Amino acid sequence: MLRFASAGESHGPAVVALLEGIPAGLEIDVAAVDAELARRQEGFGRSGRMQLERDRVEIGAGVMRGRTTGAPLLLRIANRDASLATKPPLHRPRPGHADLAGAYKWLTDDARPVLERASARETCARVAAAAVVRQLLARSGVEVRAFVESIGDVASRFDAESPLSALVRARARSAVACPDEAASKRMVEAIRAAGRAGDTLGGTFVVVAAGLPPGLGSCAQWDERLDGRIAQAVMSIPAVKGVEIGLGFEAAARPGSRVHDDVRWLRRTGRHGGIGRGSNRAGGLEGGITNGERLVVRAAMKPISTLRKPLRSVDLRRKTAAEAAFERSDVCAVAAASVVGEAMVLLAVGREYLAKFGGDSLRELDAHRRAFERSLRSRFGR
């Protein structure tokens, strides 16, 4: 069973990830992990900390001679800004952050510890762990990528069913990780305007997973449904306030004839055909189980809560009105959140992949997967 946990503070010595359940024998490409960490730091509208930090992973356990041993992996990302010991208390909670809620929870008038742990800096641990899962799933042709769909009121147009390679290339050319070139330019201008006004912007991003086998997840119990696991994983990203799969909320406004995906016998190469779909409005999941179509997950991110023009707050010590505290902050981080969205989807589907096929070593895992694929072909023609 794949399990992930993290530890560390935003301005502490490091952020660490513990990843359990990776089979023995996987060769870890450390440079590829670092490349994913670098992607998390990109995007127009980020704060000065992104110029300060240059994230690199150190593998502290679970790897020998470049390959996983089957033991837990310990991944460490050092913080260049490790100034926690000299950081002042935070007595004026910032609306929209965890500051005040955390002060209530831990009965404190200093929200500094809450801020340090609730910070989005922690997501570098998620991206590092997911980069290992990405390498595991890539061996069977699974690819997970995300794309910014909107920033503020600027929306883009792209087809999540388009060839993934083309979407990835277009994303790489965009300063905001959006494959729509015209919309990307408008998004950059919107971020500039918000920055000049001392404001922030949110937006939406779409995570696409191609190549997932059918049969991941379950409908046997409520907490085994993969759509529920994915929704929880993506909602756990700081500032994400909504998650949809497939049509999502749009499905509620349509008649059933324009929501459900008919099942067809599709002609394949050669003599035989196979079961397929005429559309993918379900977004690759039905009944909490992957159906063999592309997984499509959409997330909505609220604007960053720290504003250069602070909102009203109170001083928790003095019990008086005050302006909210200001910490170094982004104007817009939707592009970065999309990379974290990839990570959370990878961790969610990776868990189900290993639960489905199992095995303490790659040899066992591969044998179980191949046996399942043979059964699929013989029974369903796919």
Closest CA to 44 of 157, 195, 147, 260: 195
Return d(Cα 134, Cα 28) in angstroms, integer: 10
pTM, full prediction: 0.95
Return per-residue pLDDT of the chain as tens, 382 residues: 899 999 999 999 999 999 999 999 999 999 999 999 999 999 999 876 555 668 999 999 999 999 999 999 999 999 999 999 999 999 999 999 999 999 999 999 999 999 999 999 999 999 999 999 999 999 999 999 999 999 999 999 999 999 999 999 999 999 999 999 999 999 999 999 999 998 999 999 999 999 999 999 999 999 999 999 999 999 999 999 999 999 999 999 999 999 999 998 876 554 456 788 889 999 999 999 999 999 999 999 999 988 888 889 999 999 999 999 887 779 999 999 999 999 999 999 999 999 999 999 999 999 999 999 999 988 887 6
> Cα(165)–Cα(146) distance, rounded to whole angstroms?
12
Q: Which two tokens stand for residue 3?
A: 């399990």
- Give the C-alpha separation, 344 to 270, whole Å: 38
Domains and CATH numbers, the chain: 3-380 (3.60.150.10)
Q: Are 28 and 74 in contact (CB under 8 A)?
A: no
Question: Which helix (H) or strand (E) element contains residue 234?
Answer: helix 226-235
As given in the structure block, the two tokens for residue 220 are 């046997």
Task: Please report where in the chains the tokens 């609306």 appear, as a residue.
Answer: 95
CA-CA-CA-CA torsion for 19, 8, 110, 326, nearest 10 degrees?
-110
CA–CA dist 149, 169 (Å, integer) = 15
User: How much is the pLDDT for 347?
Assistant: 98
Rounded to whole angstroms, the Cα distance separating 4 from 15 reads 13
